[in-house]
Amino acid sequence: MSDKAIRDELTKLREQVAELQSARTSAPSPQEQQVPGAAPQDLVTTRAEEADQDTVFPEGAEEKDTEEQIRDFVNALDQEIKSTNPMTVLVVFSLGVVIGRLLPR
């Protein structure tokens, strides 16, 4: 895209954002309130904000969750290796070495 096309697109987007913000702050008209089956704009906005708040992680919670998942994976891998026959582990490792040597560089 050229610079002019990007500027035009940014201008259009800014206008749309301004329209949405003005529509959000203005009170709904009586006709909008009387439409059957339509949710009031405030209710929709409130529910959208609540959904956003539900998915927001407190600081460090996502990192803690990732660390916990890694720890669980390492523990499961450790248990799997301990419960596996050593000869099977050696054969699988050897096959990996042989296949690695056969691959072109």
pLDDT tens-place string over residues 41-93: 555 566 666 655 555 555 566 777 888 999 999 999 899 888 888 898 899 99
Please give the torsion angle defined by the CA atoms of residues 90, 94, 95 and 101, in that order, rounded to the nearest 10 degrees: 160
* pTM for the whole structure: 0.30
* Rounded Cα gap, residues 79 and 72, in angstroms: 11
Q: Residue 1 above 80 pLDDT?
A: no
